[in-house]
Amino acid sequence: MRVLAAMSGGVDSSVAAALLVEEGHDVVGVTLRLWDNPTDAGCCSVAEIDDARRVAHVLGIDHLVWTFVDEFDAQVVAPYAAAHAEGLTPNPCIECNRHLKFGRLLRRAGQLGFDAIATGHHARVVGDRLFRGTDPLKDQSYVLYVLGQDELAQCRFPVGVMTKAEVRAKAAALGLPTADKPDSQDVCFVTTSGGREALLASRIPLHAGRVVDTAGAAVGRVDALELVTVGQRRGLGTGGGAKRYAISVDTATRTVVVGEAGDLLAASVELGQLCWVQEPAYGPVEVQTSAHGDAVPGFFDGVTVTFAEPQRRVAPGQSVVLYRGDEVLGGGIASP
């Protein structure tokens, strides 16, 4: 099989490519250049591309660099900024998977005659179904719920059956230069020097906003309403006293409502932009509302997820992913 291995410069994608070579596939490595900023960091940086190239050299495979900067800006960065302007909390990594890593990459791979693409995601494909990765601490199935049958048929996740410790041990045994490399934690286009505020300020106007309690009484002020996310506790300008959390963000009135921890609890969440791995799934499900959160029991009626017990409010714009056991059913975006 001719496989295009997406190599981010990290240990997981390095080992994924190595396993495919060991299996006898015709493997070519590719690293995506998505962000054209000289101070960039993370999976799209020059350093990461160099690391991927070094691994490819050790493995004896060709290594390509494909530049999708314009597509990344249009499909990921611009919508990220626009969402914040509306008081939402987007998940750019999921949109990158949707449009670039399993969209644009798959299309180009097909045009060049590759049978499949492979990544270092900790997830498993069994037949035509998507499952959590074997290592519960590194499972990345949450960010892959946007993959449907067409995409899954062309995807390979070689390290999905391994624990992270096993991945690192394999990399060390093969002498890969990424064996001890720390995992990337940051959004690749948000720099450590300027952070999210600098990125958004370069894209959208940032507005001061008033902070009120659940009764409508003014209790503080924020300098940039667009930086506030539901559930946030710090930086709300409310001074000392009892802990207060952002309950809602209204950009139209430039108001943040804050409340106590109990006010963050919600019985349900409405979903839009639904995606299904197979057919739509209704009824009892397990619900995961963040990449590293635990799944909790719930019921989905096609529009609304009702939790078996009230849960911490999901920030509008975040993904909510539905499971049955370890199987990924699909998911959607939390509505305001």
Q: Would you please indicate which residues are annotated as catalytic (active-site) residues?
A: 96, 188
Phi (first) and psi of residue 285, to 5 degrees? -145, 170
Please tell me the distance from the alpha carbon of residue 320 to that of residue 330, in angstroms, as a whole number: 9
User: In 3-state terms, what secondary structure has residue 17?
Assistant: helix
Element (H, E) at 30: strand 26-33
State the Cα–Cα distance between residues 327 and 80, nearest whole angstrom.
28
Token digits of residue 43: 């999976």
Q: Give the Å distances, CA to CA, from 289 to 133, 270, 301, 325.
A: 17, 12, 17, 15
Q: Please state whether 254 falls in left (phi above 0), alpha (psi between -120 and 50) or beta.
A: left
Q: Are 211 and 258 in contact (CB under 8 A)?
A: yes
Cα-Cα-Cα-Cα dihedral sign, residues 51, 57, 60, 66: positive
Among positive and negative, which fits the CA dihedral 72, 68, 7, 198?
negative
Give exposure, 68-93, as e/b (b: 16+ Cβ within 10 Å): beeebbebbbebbbebbbebbbbbbb
